[in-house]
Structure 1
Amino acid sequence: MQLILHYDETYREVKYGTMGLQDIDNKMLMGINVTPIVALLYTPVLIRFFGTKWMMFLAVGIYALFVSTNYWERYYTLVPSAIAIGAVIVPLWASLGNYIIRMAQKYYEYANYKEPHVQEQRKAPRGACHKYIILFQTVFFNFFYLSFVIAEMPMVFFLNQYLSPHDHTLFSVKECGTSVTHGTLPGLNKTVLQTLPRSLNLIIVESVLMGVAFLSMLLILILCGSAYRPTEEIDLRSIGWGNIFQLSFKHMRDYRLRHLFPLFVYSGFEVLFVCKGFALCYGVCSIGLENLAYIIIAYGFSASIFSSLSLIMLKMPRQIPLVAGGVVHGFLIIALFCWAPRPKDLSQSGTVYLLTVLWGLGSALNKSGLSIILGMFYEDKERQDFIFTIYHWWQAMAIFVVYLWSELPMKAKLSIMLFALLVSIASYLWMERKISQGVNPRIPKIPKPRHKVRGYRYLEDDNSDESDSEKSDEQIDDDSTSDEGEQMAEADNRALRNGAEKDVQRQKREQPQYNYEQAVEEEEAGKNPGCKEI
C-alpha cells in the first residue's frame, strides 16, 4: 500500500514536495534487499546470544519500528529502519524455523513422557520426531500463507476506494507478459489515485498496523515458551563464539546441504516472482491495479490450503511433495512463456486467478516440503540454528538477485526461473540417490561446552550454587572416606607384617629341631664305636 501511495506523482508532490520520496523508496528497497547478504556472519551469534524466543521478539520489534516510521516519513527515518529490517530478516526466519522444530521435539517428549530416554533427558531415537515435525510445519505454513491475505486488508478496505479505474492507469500500457522487453510494467500511469486520502485516515490505518505489530510482539512474549532448557542454552553458548561463527560455514561441507542449495535459491525466486513479476506483468497489466490485492489474496488462500498436502509425507516418501511442487511450477513457467495477455482485458481474469491458485499449490509443496526435510535431516538441537541460517541466507541471496533483475525482459526472468528449477530438482534427486546408496554425510563435530559462567549452572569443578553447610558436609564426607581408606590400608599392611613374622618364627622353630635331631643321631652313632673300643 505504501509503495503505491509513493508511486503516485500527485501524492508525492502535494504531501512531500521536493523531498525526493521516490529516490528514498529506492534506497529503502536497496537497504532491505542488500543488507541480508552479510547475515550469514552474525545470525548464529545473535540467536545463541539472545536465545531463539528473544531473537524472534527483537526482530518483530524492529518490524514494528519500521511501521512506526510511516508517521514521519523522512530520509533519516525510512532508510535506517529499512536497513534494520534487512539486517533481521535472516535472524527472524532462522530462529522461527529452529523454534518450530524444537516445539515439535518438545511435544514428542510431552506425548511420550513415560519413555526411559525422555525421563532421563537423553536423545530421542532417530526418526522418532518425524511425525511431529511434519504436523508442526504443516500447521505453521497454513497460517504463514494467510499473512499474504491479511497484508492486503489495508488495500482492500482503504486504498481501493481511491484508485483510478484500469482504463486510466493502463492507458499507455501496450504490452503484457512475455511481450514486456524491459522493466516490470512499462507505461503504467504516473497518477493512479482519483483523490488523495486524508491524512487523518492514513494515521488511522498506520495506527492499526502499529497495533498489529505490537500484538505480534505480545503474542511471542506471552504464548511462546523457551525453546531450550536453561542449562541447554548455556551449553549452546559455551562452545565458544568463534566456533559458533565458524559452524555455519563448516556445515556447508555436508553434501545434503550442498545439493539443496539450488532449492533454497529457487524458493526465494518463486515467491518474489509471483508477488511482483507475475502479479504486475500478467495480473495488473490485464485486469487493472484495483485487482492487485485480490491476486495476492488468491495466492495466499491457495498456498495456505494446499500446505495441508504435505501431510502425505506421513504415509508416502518425502520426495513426493518437493518433486510435485517443482513439476507444477515447471508447467506454469512454460505456460507463461507461451501466454502474453492483452492489456485492459477483464475477460482474462479467470486465467489470471487460475494460474495464481496453481502457483500457490506449487509454493505450498515447495516451502513446506523443504522445511520438513531439513527438520528430518538435522534433528540435533545443536545444529538447527546453523541449518536454518544457511537456508534463509540463500533465500535472501535469491531475493537480492530478483532485485537486480528488475529491468530484464520477462523472457529472461522466466528463463532464469526455469533453469533454477531444473537444476534444483536434478540436484535434489541426486542427493536422494546418494542417501539411498549409503553415502555418509560430512557433518562437523560440535565442540564440547566450556563452562565459564559461575553462579547459574552446577559445575563439576566448583559448584557455586551450593551453600556453606553443603560444602562442609561434603568436606566431612571426603575426610571420612579418606580416613576409612587409610585405616584399611594400615590393616592390610599389619596383616602382611604379621604373616611375615609367623613365617620367620616357623622357620626358626623348624631349624633348631632339625639340628637337635641330627646332633642326637650323630652322638648316638659316635657312642657305639667308643663302646666297642672299650
Structure 2
Amino acid sequence: MGKRKTQHLEGVSNGALDFSDLTMTRKASFAGDSPQEIPTLSVNHLTNMSTAFSPINKEMRSTPLDANAHEDSHDNKTSAPSPDDVSSTKRRIIIDLLIQCFGFLLLFTAYQSLQNLQSSINRARNLGLTSLAVLYGSLIPAGPFLAPVAMRYFGLKWTITGSMVTYMIFTIANYWSEFYTVIPASVLLGVGAACLWAANGAYLTRLATRYALVTGQNKAATISLFFGIFFGIFQTSQIWGNLISSLVLQQGAADQGAPSAANVSSCGAANCPGGGAGNLVIPPYSLRVTLISIYLVCGILAVLIMALFSDREAGKGIFSCLKTSKPRKNLSSGDDGQARGSEDDQDETSSDCKHLCERFLAAWKFMFREKRMMLLIPLIMYGTMEQALNVAIFTQAFVGCTLGIHWIGWVMICFGVCDAISALLVGRLRKWIPRQVLFGTAAVLNLALMIEMLTVKPHPSLTVLFFVHAGLWGVADGIWQTQINSLYGVLFPGQQEVAFPMDGFWGAVSYTISFAYGGYLCADVKIAILLALLVVSMATYGVVELMEKRRLEKNGETPEDATEIKENTTPE
C-alpha cells in the first residue's frame, strides 16, 4: 500500500460523530480540565477523510484540531491579513454559522415535533415506537462507517444537504403510515442522521477554527462558543415545531370535548401497551395531512438554504460538482508535482476501507484500554434514554392520555424553551460552578421527577403539573447533553476521534433499546429501569471523577495547569 498522504486542514469537531439526539442533539461544550496523555493514532483518519478537501481562504492556512498536525506548520507561514480582510472573513464565517443554524432549525422544527407525536399518532400496532427503534438501530453501523465515507466523497456541504433529504422522505412516509412505508423510511433516516450529525460537527468546527485563526482567540473556547450558538438556536425548534402541531391539532379538539377524568385510569405509570388510551384520540386524516404538509415545506426550505447559501468551499469532495480538475498538492511533503498528488489520491482512495476499519477497531481498543471510558458507558446510555422516556412515554402515557393529543405540543414547547435556556446558561455557568455540581443538579432533578411520575396519578385538573414537569426535565436535559460531551474534551484531550464514536455507538444502542422495549413494557417498568440506570451512572461517574482527581494530584497539576499544558504543547 502506498504512502498515505497526511493532510491536516480543518479538523472534525470533538462532537463530529455525535448522534445522541434525534432529538440527536448532543450539545458540544468544552470544560477547562484536561487529563493525562493517552497514546494517539498516528493520523486522525476521520479528519483526513472528512476535511482534506476543504481549503481555507487564500490569505491564511488552517489550524488543525489535532495537535500532531503542527509538525509542518513552520514551513507554511504567510503574511498577516489586512484589517479589511479580517473583517470580511469574520463576517462571512458568522453568516455561514447562521445559515447552518437556521437550516437545522427549519429541518428539526419539522422532525422533532413529528418524532414527539410518533408514539401517539402511530400508536396502532406499535408502529411509532417500532419505527424509532429501527431508526436508531440503523445509526449503529452507519455512524462509524458510512458517515466518514460520505464526508470524504461528497464534502461537508453536500453530505449535510443530502442527509436532510432523508428527513423529508421520512416526513412523506407519514402520509401513509404503514409498516412498508414508515419502516424503510426510518432505515434511510437513520443512515442520513448519522451522516448529518458527523458532517455538522465537522462543519461547525471548521468555521470555529477559521474564526479563531483570524481573530487570534482561544480555539477550544471558540469551538465551544460556536456550538453553544448553534444549539441555542437549534433547540428552539422544539418551540416552533410543537407550536405548529398544537395549532393544527387544536382544530380537532372542539369535536372531542373537554378531557374526561373518567378516562384516565389507564394513564400515567399505569399505562400499558394494548391498554386503554384515555383521552388520546387520533386526529382526523385531514388534520394529519395538513400537519405533515407544513413539516414537509419546512424540510424543503432547509435543503434549499443549505444547497444555495452554505459555504461553497465546504462542498468540495471527490465526487462533488464543485471539485476542480487540478490535483491537490502533497501538503505533507511540500511537493507541487501533479503526478505525485494524483498517486497519493489513488493511494488514499484505495485504502479508505482499511483505514475506516482501523479507526473503528482503534475506538474499541481505546474503550477497553481506557477504564474511564468504560465507566462512562452507563452515563452515556442514561443521557440518551432519558430523552427517549420524555419523547415516547411522557408525551403519550401522561400528556396525550390525560389531556388529549393536542396538548402534547404545548407541553413540549415548555420543554424546548427550558432546554434551550439551560444549554446556553450551563456553558457560561461552568466557569464558576464545578461540573460535579452540575451533574448532581441534573441527577436530583430527574430523580425527583421520576418519583413524581411513579407516585402522582395524572388528572386533567393537574394540567399545570405537566408543564412544570416538562420545564424541569428540559433544564436537566440541557445539563446532561452539554456536560456529557464536555467530558471528552476534559478526560481525553487529543483522543476525541476515538472517544466520540463510542459515544455515538452507545447512544444509538440506548435509543434502540428504549424504543424496542417501549411497545412491550408498562410505563412504570420503563421509569423504574431508567431510575436504576441513573443510580448506576452516577456511581460510575463518581469513580471517574475520583480517578481524575488522583491523577492530577499524582502529577502535581491543577485543572488549569493541565489545560495550559495541552493548549501550548504539541506531542512528538
**TM-score range, shorter-chain basis?**
0.5 to 0.7
Q: Distance in 1 between matches of 2:503 and 2:249?
A: 35
Whether the 8 Å CA contact 2:422–2:475 is kept in 1: the answer is yes
Structure 1 position 317, deviation (Å): 3.0
Q: Distance in 2 between matches of 1:281 and 1:262?
A: 26
- The count of corresponding residues between Structure 1 and Structure 2 is 410
Q: 1:87-126 CA distances to partner (integer Å, 9 max, x unpaired)?
A: 233333344344444544443323228xxxxxxxxxxxxx
Structure 2 match to 1:356: 470
Structure 1 position 171, deviation (Å): 6.2
1:178 matched to 2:295? The reply is no
Structure 2 match to 1:262: 378
1:389 maps to which of 493, 496, 501: 501
Structure 2 match to 1:49: 152
Q: 1:432-478 CA distances to partner (integer Å, 9 max, x unpaired)?
A: 221222289xxxxxxxxxxxxxxxxxxxxxxxxxxxxxxxxxxxxxx
Structure 2 match to 1:37: 140
Q: Distance in 1 between matches of 2:204 and 2:440?
A: 23
SS at match of 1:314: coil
Q: 1:273-323 CA distances to partner (integer Å, 9 max, x unpaired)?
A: 112212222222333322111011110011011112221123343333333
Structure 2 match to 1:159: 249
1:211-230 equivalent positions in 2, closer than 5 A: 211-215=300-304, 217-218=306-307, 221-222=310-311, 225=314
List alignment gaps of at least 5 residues for structure 2: 1-112, 318-327, 333-343, 555-572
Q: Distance in 2 between matches of 1:77 and 1:314?
A: 48
| CA 274–430 in structure 1, closer or farther in 2 if over 3 Å, else same | same
2:413 maps to which of 292, 297, 312: 297
| CA 270–220 in structure 1, closer or farther in 2 if over 3 Å, else same | farther
Structure 2 match to 1:320: 437
Q: Distance in 1 between matches of 2:508 and 2:220?
A: 27
| CA 97–236 in structure 1, closer or farther in 2 if over 3 Å, else same | farther
SS at match of 1:340: coil
Identical-residue share of aligned pairs (%): 22
Whether the 8 Å CA contact 2:147–2:194 is kept in 1: the answer is no
Give the TM-score, by structure 1 length: 0.66
Structure 2 match to 1:399: 511
1:302-313 equivalent positions in 2, closer than 5 A: 302-310=418-426, 311-313=428-430
Q: Distance in 2 between matches of 1:203 and 1:275?
A: 18
Q: Distance in 1 between matches of 2:140 and 2:266?
A: 34
1:419 matched to 2:532? The reply is yes
Structure 1 position 268, deviation (Å): 0.9
Structure 1 position 149, deviation (Å): 1.7
List alignment gaps of at least 5 residues for structure 1: 13-20, 114-127, 441-534
Give the TM-score, by structure 2 length: 0.62
Q: Distance in 2 between matches of 1:106 and 1:414?
A: 45
Structure 1 match to 2:232: 142
Q: Distance in 2 between matches of 1:191 and 1:318?
A: 43
SS at match of 2:282: coil
Q: Distance in 2 between matches of 1:29 and 1:56?
A: 21
Structure 1 position 263, deviation (Å): 1.5
| CA 176–59 in structure 1, closer or farther in 2 if over 3 Å, else same | same
Q: Flag the structure with larger Rg.
A: 1
Structure 1 position 394, deviation (Å): 1.2
Q: 1:242-264 CA distances to partner (integer Å, 9 max, x unpaired)?
A: 32332232331323322221121
Structure 1 position 39, deviation (Å): 3.4
Q: Distance in 2 between matches of 1:285 and 1:199?
A: 18
- Once superposed, what is the RMSD of the aligned Cα atoms? 4.0
Aligned-partner residue type, residue 35 of structure 1: S
Whether the 8 Å CA contact 2:140–2:505 is kept in 1: the answer is yes
Aligned-partner residue type, residue 413 of structure 1: K
Deviates more, 1:168-177 or 1:274-283: 168-177
Structure 2 match to 1:197: 286
